[in-house]
């Protein structure tokens, strides 16, 4: 979904006149809003995006196809019984996932720098 549509969705959800009808603003929601803001203001390196979710990864995991996915997304993919790569559609040799620490650190570093740049 494009940034404007997601922002409109957030706005409608959290603009109820009666505060009791408004959902609680959770840390996850705040993170999502910050990510939307950064998406609009800053170009996200494509390698930081999960091929399944098209969102910045927080728990990047390398799959048997050699590609990196958001951990929860690839686990859900596999839990549905799929035995193929979400990208290539080729059969996966195994279902083991390996944390991609280097990419996670690179994403965290980029997020810190991008967040700092937005505050300037």
Walk along the chain (120 residues) and give the pLDDT tens digit of each residue: 466 677 777 777 777 777 777 777 777 777 777 776 665 556 889 999 999 999 999 999 999 999 999 999 999 999 999 999 999 999 999 999 999 999 999 999 998 887 665 554
| 61 and 2 together in one domain | no
Residue written as token pair 């279902």? 95
And the tokens for 89? 């559609």
| 99 and 83 together in one domain | yes
| 57 and 29 together in one domain | no
**Into how many domains does the chain fold?**
2
And the tokens for 98? 């390996």
| 14 and 49 together in one domain | no
The torsion of the CA quartet 49, 36, 44, 73, rounded to 10 degrees, works out to -10
HSE of 119, CA atoms in CB hemisphere, 13 A: 7
Q: SS3 of 94, please?
A: coil
User: Is the pTM for the entire model greater than 0.85?
Assistant: no
| 70 and 111 together in one domain | yes
| 34 and 57 together in one domain | no
Are 71 and 60 in contact, with CB atoms under 8 Å apart?
yes
| 49 and 104 together in one domain | yes
Domain ranges, residue 49: 44-120
């Amino acid at each position: 979904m494009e940034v404007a549509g997601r922002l409109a969705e957030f706005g409608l959800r959290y603009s109820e006149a009666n505060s009791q009808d408004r959902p609680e603003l959770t840390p996850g929601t705040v993170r999502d809003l910050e990510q939307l803001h950064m998406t609009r203001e800053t170009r996200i390196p494509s390698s930081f995006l999960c091929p399944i979710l098209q969102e910045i990864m927080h728990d990047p995991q390398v799959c048997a196809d050699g590609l990196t996915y958001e951990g929860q997304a690839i686990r859900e993919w596999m839990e549905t019984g799929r035995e193929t790569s979400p990208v290539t559609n080729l059969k996966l040799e195994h279902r083991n996932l390996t944390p991609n620490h280097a990419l996670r650190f690179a994403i965290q570093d980029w997020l810190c720098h991008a967040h700092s740049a937005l505050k300037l």
